[in-house]
Amino acid sequence: MEEMVNLAVDLRDPRFSAEALAGSLHAIEAAGLRVERGPAPEDRFLAWLDDVFGGTWSSEAFAGKSAIARAGVDIAGFAAYDPRGLRFAWLRGWGARADVGIFGPFGVDPHFRGSSLGPNLLVAALASLRECGYAYALIPAVGEEKLVEYYAAHSGASVVERFEKKRWQARRYRTTVLASGGGTNFQSVLDGSRSGRLPLVITTLLCNRARAGAIERARYANVENVVTLIRDRTGESRAEYDARLLEAVERSDPELVLLLGWMHLLDDAFVERYGDAINIHPAFLPLDQRRDRVGMADGSTIPAFRGAHALADAIRARSPWTGASAHQLARDADRGRVLVRKPLRIGLEEDEGAILKRLHPLEHRVLAGGIMRWVYERP
């Protein structure tokens, strides 16, 4: 399907009654699986979502409740429901109604596809929405005809809204990039903008290092404004430099600011003005920004590895995992809202150069995903 659809389910139907909920849970358990249902999914499950599916699924599940079926410690399938605070544009119609609860994301391990697990998880999550007091459920942004048919067959879902994601890519957003280093992530954004995959116009690059590789990349790409803004540490205070930096960004009149290897902590005034700026960080950050550790899909727990030396810190700590996260700004470094993240397993004998060869492509995909989420969340 070129278009996407939002589907609605009438939760007042008897198939989503309390008895139906109990029946679906019993059927899952009768198949030898354990069912967990409720809020605040554990880190291991959320990391598994990022590892297997990528995209924004973990943050959507984190924002609500989930019914999770497990085969031992392994996840057999899940259905998330009733997220709060999601900002996607396609949730501003039916999804904004007080009597409508949001369903999804929803997935079943390949070993259990074609079994009764999927339909039973679907009913369990929809009946749970009814239990929460909703009269209808919205199944948003369905893009495959087979899925539309699946939901219709197992829940009576019908199409209530139609849209095309590319409608949000009809315009291009003025973008200012702040970079300090070689500019590999900057190059990925330039390439995405040039090909049309990213609806951006890169108008300005601002660097705080005179020999940053990003400068040559910008000039080669004919970026309109290339600004070198270096702090004079002998005669310029931190506050004076921060004010000069903010003024330079404001002059570029951006709709989006990207921090791509920017190695200077931004002050409160910058965060206040450009809090929706996107930073790419080479670590797997927790969705709960208050936490300093994050659980992984294999059951291990690692430090969040915030700060300027995240990868070196992970190697020094002999962490079996690193990753990439696209997040928005916050007053505390690397504690902004996570848009997209993806884990990367690393070998204990790998050096930083070898890891970076695998990490850079991952950062580029995560960054692109974070940018598109920003686009889809625009007012």
Give the CATH number of the domain where residue 142 resides: 3.40.630.30
Q: State the average pLDDT over residues 82-103.
A: 97
Q: Is the pLDDT of residue 267 over 80?
A: yes
Handedness of CA 352, 357, 362, 364 (dihedral sign): positive
Q: State the average pLDDT over residues 146-165.
A: 96
Task: Count structural domains, the chain.
Answer: 2
Backbone angles phi, psi at 86, to 5 degrees: -70, 145
On whether the CB atoms of residues 126 and 100 are closer than 8 A, the answer is no
Let me know whether 182 and 121 are in one domain.
no
SS (H, E, C) the chain: CCCEEEEEEECCCHHHCHHHHHHHHHHHHHCCCEEEEEECCCHHHHHHHHHHCCCCHHHHHHCCEEEEEEECCEEEEEEEECCCCCCCHHHCCHHHCCCEEEEEEEEECHHHCCCCHHHHHHHHHHHHHHHCCCCEEEEEEECCHHHHHHHHHHHCCEEEEEECHHHHHCCCEEEEEEECCCCHHHHHHHHHHHHCCCCEEEEEEEECCCCCHHHHHHHHCCCCEEEECCCCCCCCCHHHHHHHHHHHHHHCCCCEEEECCCCCCCCHHHHHHCCCCEEEECCCCCCCCCCCEEECCCCCEEECCCCCCHHHHHHHCCCCEEEEEEEECCCCCCCCCEEEEEEEECCCCCCHHHHHHHHHHHHHHHHHHHHHHHHHCCC
Single out the residue in 130, 163, 196 at which a domain terminates. Answer: 163
For residue 170, what pLDDT is reported? Answer: 87
Q: State the average pLDDT over residues 338-346.
A: 98
Question: pTM of the prediction?
Answer: 0.96
- Taking the CB of residue 113, how many other CB atoms lie within 10 A of it? 11
Q: Give the CATH number of the domain where residue 277 resides.
A: 3.40.50.170
Q: State the average pLDDT over residues 30-38.
A: 95
Q: State the average pLDDT over residues 308-313.
A: 96
Let me know whether 143 and 203 are in one domain.
no
For residue 54, what pLDDT is reported? Answer: 86
Single out the residue in 137, 163, 189 at which a domain terminates. Answer: 163
Let me know whether 233 and 106 are in one domain.
no
Please classify residue 327 by burial: count the beta carbons closer than 10 Å to its beta carbon, then call 0-12 exposed, 13-18 middle and 19+ buried: buried
Let me know whether 277 and 306 are in one domain.
yes
Query: Ramachandran region of residue 228, left (φ > 0), alpha (ψ -120 to 50) or beta?
Result: beta
Residues contacting residue 229 through CB under 8 Å, at least 6 positions apart: 206, 207, 208, 244, 245, 248
Q: Write down the mean pLDDT value for the chain.
A: 96
Q: Which of 135, 169, 139 is nearest to 5 (CA)?
A: 139
Let me know whether 124 and 273 are in one domain.
no
Residues linked to residue 277 through DSSP beta bridges, in sequence order: none
Backbone angles phi, psi at 365, to 5 degrees: -70, -40
Q: Which of 252, 246, 253 is nearest to 267 (CA)?
A: 246
Which of 82-86, 97-101, 164-168, 325-329 is least confident? 164-168
Q: Is the pLDDT of residue 2 over 80?
A: no
For residue 167, what pLDDT is reported? Answer: 86
Q: State the average pLDDT over residues 356-365.
A: 97
Let me know whether 151 and 246 are in one domain.
no
For residue 40, what pLDDT is reported? Answer: 75
Let me know whether 198 and 148 are in one domain.
no
Let me know whether 204 and 347 are in one domain.
yes
For residue 1, what pLDDT is reported? Answer: 56
Let me know whether 8 and 137 are in one domain.
yes
Beta strand pairing call for 100-108 and 136-142: parallel
Let me know whether 188 and 122 are in one domain.
no
Q: Is the pLDDT of residue 90 over 70?
A: yes
Single out the residue in 111, 130, 163 at which a domain terminates. Answer: 163
For residue 361, what pLDDT is reported? Answer: 97
Domain that holds residue 270: 169-376
Q: Is the pLDDT of residue 233 over 90?
A: no
Q: State the average pLDDT over residues 101-127.
A: 96
Q: State the average pLDDT over residues 54-69.
A: 96
Q: Is the pLDDT of residue 206 over 60?
A: yes
Give 178's pLDDT tier (boundaries 50, 70, 90): very high
Let me know whether 89 and 212 are in one domain.
no
Task: Give the span between the Cα atoms of 198 and 76, in whole angstroms.
Answer: 34
Task: Give the span between the Cα atoms of 121 and 107, in whole angstroms.
Answer: 9
Residues linked to residue 322 through DSSP beta bridges, in sequence order: 344
Q: State the average pLDDT over residues 353-364.
A: 97
Let me know whether 225 and 349 are in one domain.
yes
For residue 379, what pLDDT is reported? Answer: 84
Per cent of the chain over pLDDT 70 is 100
